[in-house]
Amino acid sequence: MKQLFKALGVLVFTLLVWAVFALVWDAPTVPAPWNVIVNLADVFRHGMLGNIVASGWRILISSLLALILGVPLGIAVGYKQSVSQILSPFIYFSYPVPKLALLPILMLLFGLGETSKVLMIFMIIFFPVVMDVTAAVRGMDREIFDVMRSFGLSGGAICRRVILPGLWPTILNSLKVTTGIALSVLFFAENYGTTQGMGYFIMNSWQKMDYLDLYTGVLILALLGFALFCIFDAIERKITSWK
C-alpha cells in the first residue's frame, strides 16, 4: 500500500509540473495534461486498443523467448565451468554492443515485418537475463550442490529443486530493469514496416503535427511500462515474501 501511495504521489507531482510548464509555454506543442487525459477516450474510440495489443504482443513474445533461451543458458554457464569457458567470451563480447545499432542489420536479414522487431526486443532482454542468471548461479553455495550430488541427485534434479527456485527473484528483477529499455527500442522498431503499435502511433501523430495525440500516445506508453514494472514487482514480492 505504501508503494501505491508513493507511485500516486509521483504521478500527481509529474502532472503538476507538466501543467505549470504547459501554462508557461502556452503553445500547441505542449498541450495541458487535462486535455491529454480527456483525449484518452477519443483515441481509444479510434483504435488505440489495437496499437496497445500489437506492442504488448511483441513485448510478450520477446520476453518469453528471452526467458526460454536465456535462463537455461545462464544456468549452464554459471553451473558448468566447461560451458562457461566456451560461451563466456561470446556473451561478454556481445553484451556491450548497442542492440539498437543492429536494427538495420536485422531488417536486412529478416525484412521489415514482425520477425526483426521481435528479435530486436529479444536481444535487449536476453543478454541481461543471461548475465544476471549466470551471476546468481555462481553466487550460490557450491556445498549445497555437493550435498545434493552425494544423495544421488543428478544435475537436472539439482537445477529443478535448488537452482531454479532460487533464481526467480533474479529473473523478475532482470525483467523489471529491461522492460523500460525494451519499450524504448520497440518505439524505434515500430516506425518501420507496420501500421500498428505505440511507436507507429506516436510518430504518425508527430508527422501529422497532431500534438495532442502525440502526448496521449507517450502517456499510454509510459503507463504500459509502469504497469509491466508493477506486475513484475508484485510477482517478485509474492515469491520473496518469506525473506
- The pLDDT assigned to 152 comes to 76
pLDDT, mean of residues 2-17? 78
Q: Poorest-confidence range of 6-10, 77-81, 98-102, 218-222?
A: 6-10
- The pLDDT assigned to 69 comes to 95
Give per-residue pLDDT as tens, 47-70.
Answer: 899 999 999 999 999 999 999 999
- Where do the domains of the chain lie? 53-239
pLDDT band at 9 (very low <50, low <70, confident <90, very high): confident
pLDDT band at 10 (very low <50, low <70, confident <90, very high): confident
Between 190 and 8, residue with greater pLDDT: 190
- The pLDDT assigned to 204 comes to 93
| 108 contacts: CB under 8 Å, gap ≥ 6 | none
Position 3 pLDDT exceeds 70? no
CATH code of the region 53-239: 1.10.3720.10
pLDDT, mean of residues 133-153? 83
Position 242 pLDDT exceeds 60? no
Q: What is the mean pLDDT of the chain?
A: 87
Q: Tell the burial category of 220 from Cβ atoms under 10 Å away from its Cβ (0-12, 13-18, 19+).
A: buried
% the chain with pLDDT above 90: 40
Q: Please give the full DSSP string across the chain, using - where no structure is assigned.
A: -HHHHHHHHHHHHHHHHHHHHHHHH-STTS--HHHHHHHHHHHHHTTHHHHHHHHHHHHHHHHHHHHHHHHHHHHHHHH-HHHHHHHHHHHHHHTTS-GGGGHHHHHHHH-SSHHHHHHHHHHHHHHHHHHHHHHHHHTS-HHHHHHHHHTT--HHHHIIIIIHHHHHHHHHHHHHHHHHHHHHHHHHHTTSS-S-SHHHHHHHHHHTT-HHHHHHHHHHHHHHHHHHHHHHHHHHHHHTTT-
Q: What is the pTM of this model?
A: 0.83
Strongest mean pLDDT among 31-40, 146-155, 165-174: 31-40
Position 126 pLDDT exceeds 90? yes
End-to-end CA distance of the chain: give it in Å, rounded: 19
Position 112 pLDDT exceeds 90? no
**Residue 152 to residues 143, 146, 157, Cα–Cα distance (Å):** 14, 10, 10
Q: Amino acid letter at 96?
A: P
% the chain with pLDDT above 70: 96
pLDDT, mean of residues 192-206? 90
Rounded Cα–Cα distance for residues 223 and 243 (Å): 30
